[in-house]
């Protein structure tokens, strides 16, 4: 029992470190919105979900963002970037976690990631409109985005960005998880003992 707890803690720590490194390797994908950067740091969080459940995935998301804030900092001095990344990652992995419990097939995995992408893209559009973009303008003392500019930023930048990010993570993670599926099942069996 104690061995399993240590193994779980070590695994979550390692996955969090990998997620942090992947987060640092971000790059912009929409020219008009260079501050929207894609990274593949949600893949280790998905792996944590498969191995240990949703709580482990959320822990990986939290640890990578705390590390990112203390090592890389934030443009505003306040961890708005990291809070947005944490919420986006959690919104992506939680629907996937729920659906993966129902089906662990390749089709189930793809469906779970599509659901996670949809939830993340729509929810982050709403949260950016209501919370994150106003917070950036407040903490950076930038001009406040008007209603139309705010809507344009969300509809032309945030929404497509999150769809592209979710699809990219799904495309990269699907072959990885399908090739690791037999090993993952064995690890889950060993952890249950």
pTM for this structure? Answer: 0.87
Note the pLDDT tens digit of each residue in 29-77: 988 888 889 999 999 999 999 888 899 999 999 999 999 999 988 766 7
The answer to whether residues 167 and 115 touch, using CB atoms and an 8 Å cutoff, is no
* Percent of residues, the chain, with pLDDT higher than 90: 52
Query: How many independent structural domains does the chain possess?
Result: 1
Query: What is the residue range of 50's domain?
Result: 2-192
Among 19, 134, 29, CA closest to 86: 19
Which CATH number covers residue 126?
A: 1.10.1760.20
pLDDT the model gives residue 134: 86
């Amino acid at each position: 029992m104690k061995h399993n707890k240590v193994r779980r803690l070590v695994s979550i720590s390692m996955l969090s470190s990998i997620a942090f490194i992947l987060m640092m390797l971000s790059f912009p994908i929409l020219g008009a919105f260079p501050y929207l950067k894609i990274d593949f740091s949600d893949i280790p969080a998905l792996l944590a979900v498969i191995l240990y459940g949703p709580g482990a995935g959320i822990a990986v998301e939290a640890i990578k963002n705390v590390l990112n804030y203390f090592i890389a900092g934030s443009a505003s001095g306040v961890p708005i970037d990291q809070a947005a990344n944490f919420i986006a990652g959690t919104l992506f992995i939680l629907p996937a976690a729920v659906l993966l419990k129902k089906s662990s097939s390749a089709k189930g995995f793809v469906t779970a990631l599509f659901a996670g992408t949809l939830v993340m893209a729509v929810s982050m559009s709403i949260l950016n409109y209501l919370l994150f973009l106003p917070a950036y303008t407040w903490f950076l003392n930038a001009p406040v985005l008007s209603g139309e500019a705010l809507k344009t930023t969300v509809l032309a930048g945030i929404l497509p960005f999150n769809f592209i990010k979710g699809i990219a993570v799904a495309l990269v993670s699907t072959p990885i998880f399908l090739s690791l599926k037999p090993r993952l099942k064995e690890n889950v069996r060993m952890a249950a003992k």
